[in-house]
A and B are shown apart, each in its own frame.
Chain A
Amino acid sequence: NAGVTQTPKFQVLKTGQSMTLQCAQDMNHEYMSWYRQDPGMGLRLIHYSVGAGITDQGEVPNGYNVSRSTTEDFPLRLLSAAPSQTSVYFCASSWTLTGELFFGEGSRLTVL
């Protein structure tokens, strides 16, 4: 039972570089989302999707891009990495909007 799978688990970038954090779920969940977790700030929503082809912004979307071409995948793109994007990123999914939320193990990103 894979659940929600995130790759990579760790990544170090230089300022200005771009990269994509991958998220895949095998539970046929319609809803998927990306959060970042920072010390003292808690979890904050970056972007979310309620189905293939549908995405919307969360609380902290600036500097991030998403797309949802399939039900299974919801990649998060950092367009030009900044030190302020150093964080732990979590992908989550659920069957319905009001359903139980399942999280991936997280991707720890450091931007130098």
Chain B
Amino acid sequence: KQEVTQIPAALSVPEGENLVLNCSFTDSAIYNLQWFRQDPGKGLTSLLLIQSSQREQTSGRLNASLDKSSGRSTLYIAASQPGDSATYLCAVGRPEKLVFGKGTKLTVNP
């Protein structure tokens, strides 16, 4: 059974800092990995989607990497801003049955 772990559960950083969020998974037979952002009381917003054949994806200040062999993904956020404060979740697995991590709650302090 696929298990997804996100460490740390919470992270607080000063504005402007570069940071890395981690996601690890137990079954490397994945189709893709997705990173999402969730604001309080809201739904999830897709940030980056990495297909299993890819190593990384970039969107603006965000860069996500995927290492299937080690069962790890990282989400790099450059020059963090207070508006980046949210919970970040990763999801992996079979296409029709994604398994989500419990998320990392990020707080960026002005």
Which A residues fall within an 8 A CB radius of B?
4, 31, 33, 35, 40-45, 48, 50, 56, 58-59, 90, 92, 96-106
Contact = CB atoms under 8 A, between A and B. Distances in A.
A90 B102 CA distance: 15
Given A56-B96, A105-B43, A100 B102 contact: no
B96 A103 contact: no
Contact of A98 (B32, B43, B46): B32
Contacts, number: 58
Interface of B: 31-32, 34, 36, 41-46, 49, 51, 89, 91, 95-98, 100-103
A62 to B, nearest CB: 16
B43 A42 contact: no
A42 B100 contact: yes
Contacts of A45: 97-98
A41 B4 CA distance: 12
Contacts of B95: 31, 96-98
A101 B89 contact: no
A101 B34 contact: yes
Contact of B51 (A41, A50, A56, A98): A98
